[in-house]
């Protein structure tokens, strides 16, 4: 086995990193108490921005969502769902969304070059994963939502997004009421070894 210290200055072992990555799950039910330490959320954002991004474009923007904006998003989503799936579904979703304790959104700045734009989206996704892993390490669960409401112009207006900016994810965070189990397919099903 190779001496890890000779290869990297990582402060965690591979086993610790693996446990952190495998342990992070999408939380679908949160306790009602909010995360009291907003410094923790700010630190998660600070670490999110260390995600890889080609040409150091830093395309991500983070929006901490307060009660007024949260209410506007819930109202918008309720209107959309009432029109597409009916009042009963919309009201159930409204109740569920109102119970989400912490809210933030990650948007991506526009780029006219299609290759850079694609790389910027990927960079934002990496930033979200950094954010979620850090919060998980502190005992805070997350859910990354990217439903139809996040693509609505009115949603972007609520976030005070700049021209061409679009939402990569609406992130809910808080303490898990339950931690779901998850499985992944076998590695040999997803790896091609080429000569």
Q: Is the pLDDT of residue 114 over 60?
A: yes
Domains of the chain are 28-175 (3.40.109.10)
Report whether pLDDT(45) > 90: yes
Copy the structure tokens of residue 182: 């998850």
Task: Name the percent of the chain lying above pLDDT 90.
Answer: 86
Whether residue 1 is predicted with pLDDT greater than 50 in this model: the reply is: no
Residue 144: name the closest of 111, 112, 172 by CA: 172
Rounded-to-integer distance, Cα 191 and Cα 51, Å: 24
| Mean pLDDT value across residues 117-126 | 98
pLDDT at 6: 54
How many CB atoms are closer than 10 A to CB 169?
Answer: 22
SS3 19: helix
The C-alpha angle 131, 134, 135, rounded to 5 degrees, equals 85
Among 89-98, 126-135, 175-184, the least confident range:
175-184
Q: What is the mean pLDDT of the chain?
A: 93
pLDDT at 149: 97
Cα 42 from Cα 45, distance rounded (Å): 5
pLDDT band at 181 (very low <50, low <70, confident <90, very high): confident
Q: Which of 67, 100, 72, 60 is nearest to 158 (CA)?
A: 72
pLDDT at site 7: 58
Give the mean pLDDT of 96-108. 97
Contact 2, 149 (CB under 8 A): no
Going by the DSSP 8-state scheme, the letter that residue 139 receives in this structure is T
Q: What is the pTM of this model?
A: 0.91
H or E stretch covering 44 = helix 38-48
Q: Tell me, what's the pLDDT at 140? A: 97
So what's the pLDDT on residue 179?
Answer: 81
> What distances in angstroms separate CA 88 from CA 29, 81, 83, 92, 146, one per listed residue?
20, 9, 11, 6, 22
What phi and psi, each to the nearest 5 degrees, are found at residue 103?
-130, 135
The pLDDT tens digits for 7-16 are 567 888 899 9
**Which token pair is 91?**
């009201």
| E strand intervals along 4-88 | 60-64
What's the confidence (pLDDT) of residue 11?
86
């Amino acid at each position: 086995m190779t001496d890890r210290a000779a290869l990297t200055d990582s402060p965690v072992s591979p086993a610790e990193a693996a446990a952190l990555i495998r342990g992070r799950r999408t939380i679908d039910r949160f306790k009602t108490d909010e995360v009291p330490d907003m410094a923790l959320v700010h630190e998660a954002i600070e670490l999110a921005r260390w995600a890889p991004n080609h040409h150091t474009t830093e395309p991500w923007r983070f929006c901490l969502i307060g009660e007024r904006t949260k209410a506007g998003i819930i109202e918008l989503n309720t209107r959309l769902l009432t029109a597409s799936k009916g009042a009963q579904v919309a009201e159930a979703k409204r109740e569920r969304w109102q119970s989400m304790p912490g809210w933030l959104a990650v948007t991506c700045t526009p780029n006219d070059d299609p290759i850079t734009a694609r790389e910027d989206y990927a960079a934002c996704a990496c930033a979200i994963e950094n954010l979620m892993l850090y919060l998980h390490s502190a005992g805070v669960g997350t859910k990354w939502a990217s439903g139809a409401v996040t693509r609505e112009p009115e949603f972007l207006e609520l976030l005070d997004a700049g021209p061409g900016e679009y939402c990569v994810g609406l992130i809910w965070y808080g303490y898990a009421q339950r931690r779901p189990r998850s499985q992944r397919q076998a590695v040999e099903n997803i790896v091609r070894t080429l000569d």
